[in-house]
Structure 1
Amino acid sequence: MEFRPIERPPHTFQQSVTAEQIQAICGRVFGTDVRVASATELGGGMYNSTYRVALAGQERPVVLRVAPEPGRQFRSERELMRNEYASLPWLAPLAPLMPRVIAADWSQKVIGRDYMVQSLLDGVPAAKRLGDYPRSTWPGFFRQMGVIARQVHAVCGPHFGPVAGPVYDRWSAAVTASLENIADDLDSVGLDASDLRKVATVASHHHAALDEITEPRMLPGDLWTVNVMLANRATEPTIVGVFDMDRTWWGDPAADWTIRMATAKPGTERDAFWETYGSLDHSPASVLRSGIYEARHIGGIRLERHRLGNVDGVRGTYDDMATVLTALT
C-alpha cells in the first residue's frame, strides 16, 4: 500500500490511523480479499481523520472518515459521526449533493474508533477553488448557499438538541445545556469559562424569549465554504456537493453556523445569501436570542482554537465574548 498520512506531533488532537488499520477496515467493509492500493490523508477537516482510499481493481476511490478516539472527544462534541449518521434520513432534500454511506461501524472492534466509508464526491472544495473565480461571480455562489440552507432549515424535527440526542422538550433547555457543556469542556482543559457560564445564566433567565421557538428545525451546524464542493470546470462557482454534516441539531435556524457566517461581513458578496434564503427576524426577542447564539459560537471557537494550539486565537475570544456579554446585560 502507498500510504500518505499527515505527520503531526504526538500531542495534537488529530491522530492518523496506520496503513495496517486502513487495510483492516477495508477488509471488514469490502471483504478480506480486498487490497488497498493507496491511502492519502486529506487535511481539510479539523476533527475527524479523513482518507482518500484507492482499492485494487476498483476504478473509483472511496473516502474513509475516522472519528477521534473516545477519550479525546469533548463532551460538547461527543460521537459527532454517529450524530451525522442519525441525521441522514432527515437530510433527504440534500441527497443529490451528499456522499453515499457505504458502511458505518460503531463497534470499535477493528481499531477502537468509529469510522465511516463513503462515496467520493466529484469536484473540489470551495475553500480551495472559490478564490480562483472573479469576485463578480461570488454572489451566485452565496445565492446557492442560501438555497441549500433554506432547504435544510425547512425540515421539522421531533425534539430540540442534537439529532442523536440528548433530546429536550424546550429550546431554552437545549441552548442552556449546550452552553454548559462547552463551559465544562473549557474547564477540563484549564481555560476560563466564567464568561460563558454568565451567558448560560442569561439564557436561563430569558428562557421565555428562547421558548418562543416552538418548532424544531434542522440546523446543519457547520455548513459553509469548507463543507461544499464546486464543479471542476464550471465558468462560475457551482456547488455540486455537501459533506461533513456531523454537527446537526434541532432548533432555531437563527442559531445555525451558516446564518452566523452569512451575517459576518455585511456589504460584501455574502449579502446575496439573503436573496434566496429570505430575511431574518429583527424583533427584540430575536436580537436577544442572537446574542446568546453568538456567545455559543464563540465558546465553540475558543475550544477549537485550543485544540489547534492557537493561543492568540483563544485569547481573542475573551474580548469577543466580553462584547457580547455587554450587549446581553
Structure 2
Amino acid sequence: MSALTASRLAAILEEGMPGAARAVAGYEALGGGTYNFLYRVRLDDGGRVILKLPPDAGTPRLTYEGELLVNEAEFYRSVVGVPVPEVVHLALDWVLMTECPGEPWSGLANGLGDAEHERLRRELGSYVAQLHAVTGTRFGYPSGAVPTADTWREAFMAMLEAVLADAERFGVKLPVSGERVRELVRGAVPALDEVTVPALVHFDLWQGNILLTGEAGERRIGGVIDGERMFWGDPLAEFVSLNLFGEPEDDPALLAGYRAGGGAADFDRSARLRMALYRCYLYLILLVEGVPRGYPPARTAVTRRTAGTALILALGLISTTA
C-alpha cells in the first residue's frame, strides 16, 4: 500500500470522527505489523488515535486473512475486564481505535528481572482467563473469510483445509504432504467434539502484542492489542500461541494467573491431542505465510527448521494418541 496521504486521512477522520480532521497535529507510521498497516494520529488537543489499514486489494494473502479488521473490531468490542483499545469506527477498509498506553513487552523483555517477569506472566494469565470467559454463538473467524460453523469440529476443519489449500495455491513445499496431514487429523478430530461453547481466543499473544506501562520493576500490562487473528473456539488453542514451541507447563506463572483468574487448565490426554491439532494449524500458517509475504530466504530457512520440525512432532503425537 502507498503511504497514507493527508487527504485520505482527512476523509477517514471526517467519517469516523467528524470534526477531527481539522484538529490533526500530525501522524506517523508504526512498525511491528506483518500484514496490515498501522498509523498513530496525533490531535491538537493532545489526544491520539490509531488507524489500521489493510493491504491493497489483490495483495497475496492467506484465506483466513480476508477481512482481518472485522475480527479485530469484534475482539475489542467483546472483551470485558482486559485493557484493549476501544473501537472508534469500523469501515469497509479501515478501523479507528483508541491507543492503549505502554510499549511492547518484546522491546522491554531483556530489561525485566525474574520477579517482574513472573509477576507479569501471572497478570497475563489472569487476563487470558477473562478473555476465555467471553463466549460467542458460532465457531470460527467472525469475518467469515473461512466459513463459521455450529460445531468446533466443523469450523476447525474448515480452517485447516483453508491453510492446506493456501499451501497448494502458493506452491509451498511442506515437510509433510497435505494428504498425510489430512489423514492423521481425521483420526483425531472427534476429540474436538468435547468443545461445545465458542470461547474468545486471541491466538497471537506473543510479547509484541502486549503493552507494558510503568517504571522498571513496577511494570504492569497496559494493553492487549492486535486481536485481528481472533476466533471463537477452544481456549486450549491459546496455550499454543502463548508457548509456540513449548508446553503450557513451561510457563508456571502464567498458568497460576490463569487458574487464579478462573480459567480451567487441565491438560489430560484429550487436551494434549487437541493442542497437537492446534499446533499443526499454527505451524502450517507459519510455513505458508512466508511465500505470499515474500520473506527472504534466510527467514524462510529458519521457519522451515523450527516450525517444520515442530509440525512433524505434533503430527507424530497425533498418530500415537488418536
Change (3 A) 1:274 1:133: same
Change (3 A) 1:16 1:167: same
Match of 2:165 in 1: 184
Match of 1:311 in 2: 300
Q: Given the alignment, which residue of 284, 287, 291 partners 1:299?
A: 284
- Asked if the contact 2:116–2:217 (Cα under 8 Å) also holds between the matched residues in 1, the reply is no
* Residue type of the alignment partner of 1:132: G
Change (3 A) 1:296 1:263: closer
- Asked if the contact 2:42–2:48 (Cα under 8 Å) also holds between the matched residues in 1, the reply is yes
Rounded Cα–Cα distance in structure 1 between residues aligned with 2:184 and 2:235: 20
Match of 1:23 in 2: 10
Change (3 A) 1:25 1:251: same
- Which stretch shows the higher mean deviation, 285-294 or 202-211? 202-211
- Asked if the contact 1:195–1:321 (Cα under 8 Å) also holds between the matched residues in 2, the reply is no
Change (3 A) 1:177 1:197: farther
Rounded Cα–Cα distance in structure 1 between residues aligned with 2:172 and 2:242: 25
Q: Does 1:290 align with 2:281?
A: no
- Which stretch shows the higher mean deviation, 289-298 or 20-29? 20-29
* Residue type of the alignment partner of 1:75: T
What does 1:51-200 align with in structure 2 at a 5 Å threshold? Answer: 51-55=39-43, 57-72=44-59, 73-94=61-82, 97-106=83-92, 114-165=93-144, 166-193=147-174, 195-200=177-182
Change (3 A) 1:16 1:46: farther
- Asked if the contact 1:263–1:270 (Cα under 8 Å) also holds between the matched residues in 2, the reply is no
Displacement after TM superposition at 1:66 (Å): 0.7
* Residue type of the alignment partner of 1:252: D
Q: Does 1:242 align with 2:249?
A: no
Rounded Cα–Cα distance in structure 2 between residues aligned with 1:149 and 1:259: 13
* Residue type of the alignment partner of 2:165: D
- Asked if the contact 1:298–1:321 (Cα under 8 Å) also holds between the matched residues in 2, the reply is yes
Q: Given the alignment, which residue of 50, 53, 57 partners 2:38?
A: 50
Rounded Cα–Cα distance in structure 2 between residues aligned with 1:49 and 1:125: 17
Secondary structure of 2:34's counterpart equals coil
- Asked if the contact 1:39–1:52 (Cα under 8 Å) also holds between the matched residues in 2, the reply is yes
Match of 2:191 in 1: 209
- Asked if the contact 2:132–2:235 (Cα under 8 Å) also holds between the matched residues in 1, the reply is yes
1:58-109 deviation digits (Å, cap 9, x = unpaired): 3122211111224223212111111222334421232xx1112222211xxx
- Asked if the contact 1:64–1:117 (Cα under 8 Å) also holds between the matched residues in 2, the reply is yes
State, as a whole percentage, how many aligned pairs show the same letter: 27
Per the normalisation by structure 2, the TM-score is 0.85
Rounded Cα–Cα distance in structure 2 between residues aligned with 1:182 and 1:196: 10
Unaligned runs of 5+ in 2: none
Rounded Cα–Cα distance in structure 1 between residues aligned with 2:219 and 2:294: 30
Match of 1:326 in 2: 316
Displaced runs of 4 or more, over 6 A: 266-269
Displacement after TM superposition at 1:168 (Å): 1.0
Secondary structure of 1:39's counterpart equals strand
Per the normalisation by structure 1, the TM-score is 0.83
* Residue type of the alignment partner of 1:203: V
